[in-house]
Amino acid sequence: MGSANSSFWRAVSRLAKWTHLARLRLIGLLAMALLLPACSTLKLVYNQAPELAYWYFDAYADFNDAQSLQVKAELTRLQAWHRQTQLPGYSALLQDAQRQVRGDITPAQACAVFADVRGKLVTVGERAEPAAALLAASLEARQLQQMERRFAKGNAEYRKDFLDGTPQARRTHRLDKAIHRAEMLYGRLDDRQTALLGRMIDQSGFDASRSYGERLRRQKDILETVRQLTGPPAASAMATASPAADPASRALNGLIKRAIHSPDAAYRAYAEKQITDGCKSFAEFHNATSAAQRDKAAATLNGYEKDLATLAGQGG
């Protein structure tokens, strides 16, 4: 299985993880709160999301005092909006997923779930975009240097996991992660299912070098976009423009669009094929699970649904 299939595992068993864009759109923790295996932990982290998200983003930008106040306030407002307007939609998604996992599924059904989750996270990003634009325009040169250092650290970890070492070591790493994700949803796998995951990895079209190249392109795009927004001219324009028309909003909106739809046509085709192949692989694996494993998956999703209902009812 490739990177797209890994993303689909997260989408179904833990709802989703949205990468790259979160760093500038202030949405990371609201998605992260739905990634945790233990339901009680999910509730705890969701309720602490603004504080934990602040520390996550501060590691990239090293906020000054004014920025810290701004970011904390915006994250609190974003969480309140998300709790009131978005959590019910996740509950509906989980109810549908519980029905589907009790029987066989098709690749089209799998891709529909993936698209639904991705759409929900894009909605959160759009909500956060104006505040993120203001923050991006206030960043200083030292903060861009900090972002570069954090990007470099993450890139080194990516290379370690997917590019360095022997092919066998890289395969083992991917297989271990695939097994872990599958067992989060279905419980313990048998040897036949583990072997199936191994075959999917071997047959995958995942290209770590190509994905790494796009990763670097996005990081460069982020840094160049933010640099264009900093300085007195940008700050003056922001002060006089409407929220929808100011240069920062337009620039950040363009950045988001390029991250979702890469300017590289070859990469776009590759990414779409990875998603399609991932949906096929997930459906094939799910259809190889036992009735007991499907019951376990439904029970896991039901636990998430109940916790989300509790969180939605807690109010701001």
**Residue 14 has what pLDDT?**
39
Tokens of 196: 């199936």
Question: Contact, 307 vs 43, CB < 8 A?
Answer: yes
Evaluate if residue 24 carries a pLDDT over 50. Answer: no
The burial of 135, by beta-carbon neighbours within 10 Å (0-12 exposed, 13-18 middle, 19 or more buried), is given as buried
Query: Exposure pattern of 107-127 as b/e (b: 16+ CB <10 Å)?
Result: bebbbebbebbbebbbebbeb
Taking each helix axis from N to C terminus, what angle separates 247-260 and 208-229, rounded to the nearest 10 degrees? Answer: 180
What is the pLDDT confidence band of residue 40, given thresholds at 50, 70 and 90? Answer: low
pLDDT tens by residue, 184-241: 999 999 999 999 999 999 999 999 999 999 999 999 999 999 998 885 554 444 444 4
Instruction: Return d(Cα 150, Cα 132) in angstroms, integer.
Output: 19
Where do the structural domains in the chain lie, given as residue ranges? 3-313
Give mean pLDDT, residues 286-312.
Answer: 93
Q: What is the pTM of this model?
A: 0.79
Burial of 87 (0-12, 13-18, 19+ CB in 10 A): buried
| CB-neighbour burial class of residue 221 (10 A; exposed 0-12, middle 13-18, buried 19+) | middle
> Going by C-beta distance under 8 Å and a sequence separation of 6 or more, which residues neighbour residue 41?
none
Distance CA 148, CA 151 (A): 5
Residue count of the chain? 316
Tell me the two tokens of residue 7: 């993303």
